[in-house]
């Protein structure tokens, strides 16, 4: 049994209360509540600028386009994703997007031949995503992400607000449906990720992303055949 510190217990209680209050709230209200809870300087949005990312970023921009957005540039991203990032920044008027990269010394020590994705994908994700995000989130008291229950797997039971170590973690899109996401795109005339038209339903790093058919889970093309469904940023404490 893990014994939480007094501070951690306080964050856990805070998260539990907010989760009850916001359980049925629309995404914009959840983002606004996160902003009220800790203030702009202590709140970050983490976005992959992937196939559904524009929906959350649109909601965030409507509440406050100056909320910091953390983007993990792993070194293995599709050129289309990097271009899409720039398109959405301009389209939505995002004012503080921070592109975070893995440390060169970590790559030199653990992935000098750029083959770690094949031999040990968990270690590759740890170096290129988990550790950079941990560093990027260190100044913040809360963060927002775009996970949805309809994506299945461990995401099927995510709360709207949860405790993650010393931080609050907000999931504003937890309750939305695929139709809700499509409606946000349609109403705001948001551009689609360039790879959607090619059959990519979820886009991550190039070596570990493949196309998925319409009858598959939306994340079926991620780490296909690996028995792996998450990179680790949502299963590893970032505190």
**Distance (Å, whole) CA 31 – CA 59:** 8
pLDDT at residue 86, as a whole number? 98
Residue-wise pLDDT for 70-94, tens only, equals: 999 999 999 999 999 999 999 999 9
pLDDT at residue 224, as a whole number? 85
Residue-wise pLDDT for 162-183, tens only, equals: 999 899 999 999 999 999 999 9
Residue-wise pLDDT for 114-143, tens only, equals: 999 999 999 999 999 999 999 999 999 999
Q: Which residues face 72 on adjacent strands?
A: 100
Give the domain ranges of the chain.
6-192
Q: Would you name the residues annotated as active-site residues?
A: 231
Fold of the domain spanning 6-192 = Rossmann fold (3.40.50)
pLDDT at residue 59, as a whole number? 98
pLDDT bracket for residue 153 (50, 70, 90): confident
- Going across the sheet that includes 142-144, the strands are 97-100, 69-72, 43-46, 142-144, 167-170, 161-164
pLDDT at residue 40, as a whole number? 97
pLDDT at residue 9, as a whole number? 59
**Distance (Å, whole) CA 31 – CA 64:** 9
């Amino acid at each position: 049994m893990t014994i939480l510190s007094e501070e951690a217990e306080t964050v856990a209680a805070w998260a539990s209360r907010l989760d009850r209050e916001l359980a049925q709230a629309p995404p914009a209200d959840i983002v606004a509540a996160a902003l009220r809870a800790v203030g702009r300087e202590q709140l970050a949005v983490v976005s992959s600028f992937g196939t559904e990312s524009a929906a959350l970023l649109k909601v965030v921009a409507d509440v406050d386009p100056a909320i910091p957005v953390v983007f993990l540039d792993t070194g293995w991203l599709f050129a289309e994703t990097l271009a899409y990032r720039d398109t959405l920044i301009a389209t939505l008027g995002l004012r503080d997007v921070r592109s975070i990269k893995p440390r060169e010394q970590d790559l030199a020590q653990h992935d000098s031949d750029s083959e770690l994705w094949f031999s040990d994908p968990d270690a590759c994700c740890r170096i290129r995503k988990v550790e950079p995000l941990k560093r990027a989130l260190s100044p913040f008291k809360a963060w927002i992400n775009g996970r949805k229950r309809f994506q299945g797997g461990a995401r099927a039971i995510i709360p709207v607000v949860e405790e993650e170590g010393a931080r609050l973690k907000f999931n504003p899109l937890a309750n939305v449906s695929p139709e809700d996401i499509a409606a946000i795109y349609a109403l705001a005339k948001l551009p689609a990720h360039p790879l959607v038209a090619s059959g990519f339903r979820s886009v991550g790093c190039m070596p570990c992303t493949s196309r998925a058919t319409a009858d598959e889970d939306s994340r079926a093309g991620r780490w296909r055949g690996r028995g792996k469904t998450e990179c680790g940023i949502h299963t590893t404490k970032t505190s």
